[in-house]
Amino acid sequence: MLQTDSEFTKTRWICTIIGLGFYLVDIVTDVGLAVKYFLVGDLVWAGLTLVSVAVSSAATQVFSYTWYRDDMRKPLVNPGGDGLISCMNRGGLIGLHVMQTGIFTRYYHLLKVGYRAVFSKPLGPVECPRDVHLALFGRATDLSMLKLFETFLESVPQLVLQLYIMLGHGHRSILQCICMVGSFINIAWAIVDYRRCLRRSLPQVREMPSGLPTFVYLLYKLLTITSHILSLSLFLILSPYSTLGMAVVWLAGTVWAHWVRTDFCTSKGLERLYRIIVGVVLIFTFFNVKGQDASWPMAVYYVLFALVNLSGPLLLVLVRPEVNATEYFWPVTLLIFGGTVLGLACLVLYYTVCHPRGRSLQADEVDGHMGQERETEMPDNMVRIRNFLQL
């Protein structure tokens, strides 16, 4: 259905707390695992584990602060023009983000304002204005974007690394398994939360229906990403120099994002960082970075994706025949093949049967000039959300 009367509900508020919990578990287990590697003398594993955490945290803090700064300059978000946003001045915001707490600050303000909107009883018959709920979805979608960045900069690479350590070097521990499970759950939650929250925050876009469509979309993403992670892990077991191939894919994705001229950010420098992150995302899954018909790019991407997945086990068994005797090779190979086939089947099913298509009548009736006028009146987070739908 179209987003005409969407409200930030109690369920959405509770889901925000659950998302915060998954985020904390993912970060804490990764840092704990790095500390364990350090204590047993595996300094390389400790360093690589911490690098993904540090890079994802730094990138998300940069975007979070920039969005706060942009919101300060927008009259609709900061009508007083007093240089404050969420009761914080620019210096305070810089300090919070330098201390890597920008995400937690966003969670705090979303939960605080959301609690007032959905739990506090009004003094009279007047209900909470619709603009308040739309603003809450804007805040929630900002968080979902940042969580998506964190997922592909930290959780997904962490899974590849830990699988390589576990399968290629026989290093297994309970904390390592907890870390991998936490990363997997965080990936699943971030993908679905991003997709649903993003579509719900835009009045002119059809909401992603719950139930079967959400389940099929989740299966499509999880099966394709998981099979690809397993395949990349086998490539690393074949040779650590396989990272050069991943770097080539990242470079190609970054160049493509530059070639199609993404327009997500308000500054050229930040836009370049965004395109670099898009390149990382495209190593693991496909996103439409320009909001246009992407049927052919998606088809080409997943043909190459399937070839990479199938060639991983094949090359490993040809170059290193001794892996046939390992306990992991055939189960992982079956998971790769099955995940690839079922994931692509879910992709076709989702986009042919379950995808929410269409725009509101109002959006169809206005011309481009009126659309531009409305855009200039939109809060920065709404413009940001609209642009990120292209990803």
Give the pLDDT band (50/70/90) at residue 357: low
pLDDT above 90 (res 35):
yes
pLDDT band, very low/low/confident/very high, at 377 (cuts 50, 70, 90): very low
Give per-residue pLDDT as tens, 68-89. 888 776 655 555 555 556 667 7
**Whole-number Å distance between alpha carbons of 94 and 337:** 47
pLDDT bin (cut points 50, 70, 90) of residue 172 is confident
Residues 6 or more apart whose Cβ sits within 8 Å of residue 133: 6, 7, 8, 117
Contact 59, 154 (CB under 8 A): no
Residue 79 or 238, more confident: 238
- The amino acid that residue 385 corresponds to is I
Mean pLDDT of 358-363: 35
pLDDT at 206 over 80: no
CA angle 280, 282, 287 (to 5 degrees): 125
Identify any residues that bridge with 205 across adjacent strands, giving them in sequence order: 359
Mean pLDDT (the chain, rounded): 81
Burial level of 249, CB count in 10 A (0-12/13-18/19+)? middle
pLDDT for 330 beyond 50: yes
Q: Which two tokens stand for residue 124?
A: 């009279």
- pLDDT, position 83: 53
Q: Position 124: which residue type?
A: G
User: How does pLDDT run across 286-324, given as a tens digit for each residue?
Assistant: 887 766 667 888 899 999 999 999 999 999 999 988 888
Where b means 16+ CB within 10 Å and e means fewer, 43-77 reads: eebbebbbebbeebbebbbbbbbbbbebbbebeeb
Task: Please answer whether residues 387 and 141 qualify as being in contact, where contact means their C-beta atoms are separated by less than 8 angstroms.
Answer: no
Share of the chain above pLDDT 70, in %: 79
Reported pTM: 0.84
